[in-house]
Structures are given as C-alpha cells and as structure tokens.
Structure 1
Amino acid sequence: MLPLKTILYLALFLTAFFASIYKHPIIGVYAYLVTYNINPLGQWWGRFLPGFATRYAMLLALAIGLGVLFHKSKLRFGRFFEGQELLLISFVGVMWLSIVVGQSGGMDYNIDKMTKVLLVLLMASHVITTKRYFEGMIWVFVICGLYLGYELYGGAGSMRGGRYQSGVGGSDFGEGNFLAAHFGFVLPFVGVLFLKGGWKVRLLCVVAAAFIVNAIVITLSRGAFLGLAVGGVMAVLLSARLSRYRGKIIVLLIVGLLGGLYLTHDGFWYRMTSIQAVDGERDLSAQGRLDAWDGAWRMAQDYPLGVGVGRFFNHIGEYHSHIAGVDTHNTYLRCLAELGFHGFAILVLMIFTAFFMLWQIDRRASELTPERANFFHLYAYATKIALFVYLTAAMFVSSVYIEEFYWLLMFPVFLKRALDNEFLDAATEDNLSKVAKSAQLNNLKSHV
C-alpha cells in the first residue's frame, strides 16, 4: 500500500494536470514550478511513485501545452515574442550549433534539457501575463523556499566537512552552492511580499525568511554570501525610487542582517574569510576554482567558437592536469569556454535586456495611478535585487544549464506583459466610468 504522502502528492499532481488542461494553464505552470523546486523523486515518499509519475516535468509541460491550446482565447499577450524570448531562442540555438562547431561530436544531455526549458518558458511567458498570475508564481517560490528551508533545519540532506552538501531541493540545485544561490534570489521577493501584505502575510514571510537564511548559513556558500552582500548594497541604492517604502526596506535589511549574524558561527566566518586569502592560506576548494577559471579562459582563447556543450570537463585537464574532469565553478567562464564568444555575448545581452526591461517597466508604471503602479515598482525592484544576488553567486557556480536562471531572466517579460494588460484594464475602466457618467448626466437631463 502506498504511503499517505505519496497518495496525497498523486492526488494533487493529477488534479493540477487535468485542471491545467480543462480550467487554465496557469495551474500547470504553478504545479511545474512546485515539482521543480521540491523534486518529488528526491523525497522519501517519491520512491513509491508509480512509473508514469516519475516523468512529472514532462507530463506537466504537456498539460501546460494542452491548456494553452484549449484556452488560447483566455491568454492575454501583445507581441507574440518579446526581444528577451528571441534571445533565449538564439541562445539555445547556439547550444545546438555547438554540436557542429564544438571540439567533440555528439548530443549532450544539457542540449535536450535546455530545449525543453525553452519550450516551457515560452509557454509560461504567454500565460503569466497578469499581476495575479505573476504574484502567484512568486508565492510558489516563497512557499517552496520555506519548505526546503524547513527540511534543512530538520537535518535532511547530507553533510560533508561541516557543511550541507546535497540532497534537498530540485535536481538543478540539490548541491549546496546551487541551493544557496536559489535561496538568495528568493529572499528579495519575500521582502516585497512582507512590504505589501497584511499581518498574516508578514508573519509567514518572517518565518520563511528565517528558515531560508538559516539554510544559507548551513550551506556555508561563499558565492551566496557575496551575492547577498551585493544584493544588500543594491537594495539600499535602488530603494531611492521607492520613497514610500525606503525606510521600511532599510529596517528590514538591518533586521535581516542582525538575524543572519545571530545564525552564523565561527566555522561560517572562517570559510567566508577564505574568499580573500592569499595564496598560502587558500583552501583547496578556492585554489581549484582559480585554476579552473584560468583554464576556462585559456580554453576560450584556443577555441573561440567553444568546445561544445558539456565538453569543458574533457579539456580542462589539458591546462591543469590536477583538476581534470572538474567544473569551472563559474557561469560566465563555463559559457565562454563551451559556447564560445558568440554564446557568451548572447548571455550578456540577455542579462542586459532583463535590466533594461525592468527600467522600462519602472518608467511606464509611473504613468498609472499610484495604487496600480505600486505593484510594478515593487516587483521590478525585487527582480533587480534578485538578479544582482544570483549573478554574483553565479561567479562561483556553473548555472549555464540551470533552469531557474532563465526563469529569473524571464521575470521582466512576465512583468512587462502584466503591465501591458494593466494599461488595457485601466483604459477599459476609464471608458466604463465615462459611459456611466454620461448615462447619469442624460438621466438628469431627461428628468429636467
């Protein structure tokens, strides 16, 4: 007999699957993100799932696709492709091209994976097009972050050398540094929900933030530490536009800093200080990263078109034999080495476009009433901070083929389409108001 948690998960999964098809594809998008975050197969109850349920990502992607097809009249988007979407298509195209121009033939798993990610994101970007759907997505990340943080607090996963190593979270970020980067980009959205919400929402956000920060400390991730430091500085600098919330933002940052300091310990600070240690004092992990970065740069110079997706491991030993077969531990250099200067240029352009779109969203939202504009100012702000956190952490992990990186880069597209629809809704309401006033005036005239 199946465990109760397995039965409950199956019931929820099947409900989401059919609801995505018959009610609205946004349900499938949320379910997809939940399973992506928690990785059912990594849970103890996931071992009892029937065979069909182990392909949860493919099934939910299918449900989203069918939902989009059946409910296309309900979808609200303007241009079919935004520039960011075209860049993402081009980036995945470069991955396919690397099969031909790379140094080792054959199809790498990550090409297939990123093609599927592209399809899911293109569907999601045509579904998450309203304020309600966007904030629903944010809640999925926050609730899942609370769940994962609670798992780490309860001792889940494996430890090595006094730090969390792996075993919690989605397959893309089950390893400590990746999980810490994931938590880092979720935190700014927890802060915005706190600023926007009532006391119940704020209480939930405080609990979520506590478990998430504690989980980051457990990972002892230097990349996440630097990312949060950069994010904190940028949160203060960029808060100038949010005059209504600036004081609260600074208070939240101070409280968060004090809470984080309370959760740290001597081992945490010893590892953090090794970031800037001189040659003789660096630990093996830090020195190995520097050697991998040097090898990646030299590899890119030797192979300007890239060595091909997943081929860095095959070539790094040619530059530093003692780290043969290891990763770059750097998103940008991994991209440069495997996808060449042209692939790297597209990635940089996607990052730049994300920030440019957020700036445009901020500027255009100011044309709305303060009540309507507030939503977009806050979430554009949170997305900028999340990008700064994640892009900094990405200097210490290889996120080139990590799905959530591209979800974050697509947040501005979701927000932009939601803003477009907000303008349409505002115009419709304004017209209805004018019609109502005109009818009221005509009634008065008729009585006269």
Structure 2
Amino acid sequence: MSMFALLFLLIFFGGIAVTLFYSGSAAFILYQLVYFLNPDHRWWSAFIPGISYSLIAALLMLAMCGLSYKRLTAISPWNRQPMFKWLIALVITYFVAYSWALNPNAHDQFTIYYVKMVVIIMVAYKLLHTERVLDASIWAYIIGSTYIGYLATITGRNSGDRVEGIGMADSPDANGVAAALVPAGALLMYYAWMGNWKVKLLCVACGALIANGLVLINSRGSFLGVVVGSGLYLLYMMFSKYRRKGQRGMAVIIAVMGLGGALYVTDAQFWERMQTLQDLESKESGAGRVTFWLTTFDMLEDHPMGMGIQGYNQLASIYMDDETRGGVENRSVHSLWFQGLSEVGPIGFLFFIAALTSLYRITQKTKQKVLADGNNARYFKILALECALISYLVAGSFINQFRAEILYWMLLLIAAAVNVYYLQQKESSAQLVDPSHKGMRNNVRKAKVI
C-alpha cells in the first residue's frame, strides 16, 4: 500500500476515533483535512476503499451536533449571529431562481451543493465553540494548504507555465487552488509572531511550501490577494496603536524573511505573468476581464432577476463577439462578485453583501471587547482572520468562486471567533445579572465536555 494512502487512512479513522471518544468538534477538523486531501482524485486513491469520505465526515458532524444540540445551542445559537439569516435568505433566493434559470439542470445541481455547504458551515459554527477548537480549525486549514503546496512542488509546472490537476473537489482548476491558499499568509504571520520557537519553525516550513505552490501555479489574482491581505496585516502589526512591545521588530523580521523567500522561489516566468496585471483588458491578462464584468449589466437589462447558475456562460456568445470572448463560446464572468450578481440578480447579491456587512459590524464589536479586556493577542488574531478573508475576496475577484468552500470557511472562522470572544462573554454577563439564566449557565458548563 502507498505511504500516502496509509497516512490518509490513519488520519481519517483516527479523526473518527477522536470525534467519538474525545471531542465532537473534531468532526469538522476531519472534514477540512478530507477536503484538501481529496482522496477521490489523488494518484493513491487506488489503494483505499472507494467510499465518500467527505460525506462520512459531514454526516459525523451532523450526528455530533444532533446528539448535543441542546447544550451546543446554549453556547452557539445561530440567532445571535446575524450573518446566518442572510445566508439562509441567499439559499432561498437560489431555490426561487430555479424558475427563471437559463440552465435549470446546472442550477438545480449546484444549488443542492450550495445548500449542503451552508448546512455544513452552520453545523460547524456550533462545533467550533472554544478557542482551542477554533485554533485547531485554523491549523487544519493551514496544514491542508501546506499539503497542496507540497503537491505543487513535487508535481511542477505540468501545463505550460503553471500546475494543473492538484485541486479540490469544488476548485479543480489552478486559479481556484491558488485562491484557496492565499488566506494562509495572514494567518501564518499571526502564529509566527505569537507562537514559540517550534511554532515559528512550523510556520516557516508551511509558508515556504505554500509560497512555492503559489509561484508554480502562477495565478495573478492570487498574487494580488497575497499582496493586499498579507500586506495589510503586516501594516497593522507594524503601525497599530495596539501593538505589543517588540511587535514592530518581529513584523520587520517577518517582512524581510517573506521578501527574501519570495525572491528565492519566484522565477522569470512568474514575474513575466505578473506584469500582465498592468492591463486587465489585454489578452495576456485573460482576454479582457473588465469587459466580461461589465457585460453582466447588459445581460441583467434583459434578465433583471439574474440568469441562474451558468446562465452567464450560455449568454456569453450572444452578448460578446468571438474576439471579445477570446475564442471561448461559453465564457465565464471571471469574478465571484459578478458571478453572484449574474446568478441570483441584485436581490440575491445584496443578501451576500448584507452577510458580509453584518459580520463586519459584529466583528468590530468583538475587537472593541477584547481590547477593553486588555487582550491584544486576540485582537490581532481577529485581524488576521479578517485579512485572510480580504485576501480571498481579492483573489476571487478574478475567478468564479462565489460558491467556493474556502470563502465560507473564512466567514465561518470569523463568526466562530466572534462567538468565542464576544457573544459567549456577553451572554455570561447577562446571566450574572439575570438569575433566570441559571439553567442556561449550567448548560454552558456541561457543554465543555463536548
């Protein structure tokens, strides 16, 4: 049996054992690892049983949540997190949009996938109810991204100037894979700053593989995502008035090491490709992405409620000539923002914006709370999660990732941090004032065993 196949089976069945006998929250950690390992599409899949590992992990999550639903609800009720009501509204919009979708078969299929993902995110929110579990989930994402970076490194550029064939189930192409790695930058910077020397070494190793993977994949949008998200977090580390003593020096060290590592792993092909970012309308920059984006509004004039999933693709040959489309008949819009707008129209798109806005507002309250408590480390962890999300949104602005799992993982991690650092503390304070919350307080104490 292949070493990778054996390692995967140990991780999978070990994760099940940890979930059943130690913590139900481990079910989502297992789901994350299975997502990145993607056993059905790896060369070592022939050595393992042909079963749906992600489905088993998802069902395990549902079972753990169901068995402890009352206790988990005392800690992580959905109704205290405004983002979820907007995501539910977006799900309903997708169902309603089936009635006018131009490609009903594709719309129906991918709407079901989207519903499953939102359910998994909402269940995971209940499971990620402590700081320790939140950190474990962040590290599961980082380790999974490192594995993808390792795959890119050992595979090499096998499709012109980039790596193909190493993606995940919902992001099989190179650009989607690269976008999934981008949020790791800000998160690794946080742990490299806060961790002990062992954690720092681990961050360096993970960062090296992820950076090398991004260079080999050669995605321009992901390059911008790293620059914006990680650069923004670095600026916060250096100039925030809430920084700790010695934090600026650590930020300078991280910046120097990062730039040195970037110069080491990048090559002429990478920089030649990045230079095409100067003109988004050039053929080298994707045959005119700005034109693709603006064409969405032309389509919406005739289809004001949206075109449904893959509706834009069907109309591309009608609204753009062959030269504009770069010779591709069913051209995609190449942006998560315009993808969402084209699929569910202005109403559904506003639900997504409302989800982001509501999460941003409650995150600001969380940062104020942790600063009032004098916990600057948590403040910078929340900032790292925000910058990770910004990284993905920037990278996704150039590819169709409106329904990508990693995007909603980033939303989930921020929401979980808000729950752990703000909502739970707020509820505990309310219980101290109102004796009628005694029963709920007991439930919260019992929930620690989950």
TM-score normalized with structure 1 length: 0.86
- Check if 1:393 corresponds to 2:395: yes
User: Shift of the alpha carbon at 1:104?
Assistant: 4.2
2:112 match: 112
More divergent stretch after superposition (4-13 vs 112-121): 4-13
1:219 match: 217
More divergent stretch after superposition (270-279 vs 144-153): 270-279
2:199 match: 201
Alpha carbons 1:185, 1:390 under 8 Å: kept:
yes
1:71 match: 68
In the aligned structure 2, how far is the partner of 1:210 from the partner of 1:324?
Answer: 39
2:442 match: none
More divergent stretch after superposition (100-109 vs 262-271): 100-109
Q: Structure 1 residues 134, 426: closer, same or farther in 2, change over 3 A? A: farther
Alpha carbons 1:357, 1:412 under 8 Å: kept:
no
Equivalent runs, 1:16-55 vs 2, <5 Å = 16-17=15-16, 19-21=18-20, 23-51=22-50, 53=51, 55=52
- Check if 1:57 corresponds to 2:54: yes
1:412 match: 414
Alpha carbons 1:17, 1:59 under 8 Å: kept:
no
Alpha carbons 1:128, 1:134 under 8 Å: kept:
yes
Amino acid at match of 2:367: D
Q: Structure 1 residues 341, 269: closer, same or farther in 2, change over 3 A? A: same
Q: Which has the larger radius of gyration?
A: 1
2:11 alignment partner, SS class: helix
2:294 alignment partner, SS class: helix
User: Shift of the alpha carbon at 1:318?
Assistant: 0.9
2:436 match: none
2:444 match: none
RMSD: 2.5
2:182 alignment partner, SS class: helix
1:152 match: 152
In the aligned structure 2, how far is the partner of 1:79 from the partner of 1:210?
Answer: 39
1:193 alignment partner, SS class: helix
Q: Structure 1 residues 261, 426: closer, same or farther in 2, change over 3 A? A: farther
- Check if 1:101 corresponds to 2:100: yes
In the aligned structure 2, how far is the partner of 1:59 from the partner of 1:207?
Answer: 31
Q: Structure 1 residues 423, 251: closer, same or farther in 2, change over 3 A? A: farther
In the aligned structure 1, how far is the partner of 2:350 from the partner of 2:407?
Answer: 16
Alpha carbons 2:27, 2:61 under 8 Å: kept:
yes
Alpha carbons 1:134, 1:414 under 8 Å: kept:
yes
- Check if 1:263 corresponds to 2:265: yes
Deviations, residues 20-50 of structure 1 (Å, cap 9, x unaligned):
3454321111000001122111222213332
Task: Report percent identity of matched pairs.
Answer: 24
Q: Structure 1 residues 278, 83: closer, same or farther in 2, change over 3 A? A: closer
- Check if 1:339 corresponds to 2:328: no
User: Shift of the alpha carbon at 1:400?
Assistant: 1.1
In the aligned structure 1, how far is the partner of 2:254 from the partner of 2:234?
Answer: 11
Alpha carbons 1:330, 1:397 under 8 Å: kept:
yes
Amino acid at match of 1:367: A
Q: Structure 1 residues 98, 428: closer, same or farther in 2, change over 3 A? A: closer
Alpha carbons 1:193, 1:201 under 8 Å: kept:
yes
Q: Structure 1 residues 18, 83: closer, same or farther in 2, change over 3 A? A: same
Equivalent runs, 1:174-213 vs 2, <5 Å = 174-213=172-211
Amino acid at match of 1:395: S
User: Shift of the alpha carbon at 1:18?
Assistant: 5.0
2:158 alignment partner, SS class: strand
Q: Structure 1 residues 223, 5: closer, same or farther in 2, change over 3 A? A: closer
Q: Structure 1 residues 207, 364: closer, same or farther in 2, change over 3 A? A: same
Which structure 2 residue ranges, 5 or more long, are not aligned? 323-327, 433-450
Alpha carbons 1:102, 1:305 under 8 Å: kept:
no
Equivalent runs, 1:360-371 vs 2, <5 Å = 360-368=365-373, 370=374
Alpha carbons 1:150, 1:211 under 8 Å: kept:
yes
2:86 match: 87
Alpha carbons 2:76, 2:126 under 8 Å: kept:
no
User: Shift of the alpha carbon at 1:325?
Assistant: 0.9
In the aligned structure 2, how far is the partner of 1:304 from the partner of 1:211?
Answer: 45
User: Shift of the alpha carbon at 1:255?
Assistant: 2.3
In the aligned structure 2, how far is the partner of 1:284 from the partner of 1:315?
Answer: 23
In the aligned structure 2, how far is the partner of 1:176 from the partner of 1:426?
Answer: 48
User: Shift of the alpha carbon at 1:427?
Assistant: 11
Aligned length: 419
In the aligned structure 2, how far is the partner of 1:411 from the partner of 1:343?
Answer: 23
Q: Structure 1 residues 176, 4: closer, same or farther in 2, change over 3 A? A: closer
In the aligned structure 1, how far is the partner of 2:429 from the partner of 2:152?
Answer: 45
Alpha carbons 1:110, 1:309 under 8 Å: kept:
yes
2:359 match: 354
Alpha carbons 1:297, 1:333 under 8 Å: kept:
no
Which structure 1 residue ranges, 5 or more long, are not aligned? 430-448
Alpha carbons 1:234, 1:385 under 8 Å: kept:
yes
- Check if 1:252 corresponds to 2:233: no
User: Shift of the alpha carbon at 1:313?
Assistant: 1.4
In the aligned structure 1, how far is the partner of 2:180 from the partner of 2:33?
Answer: 14
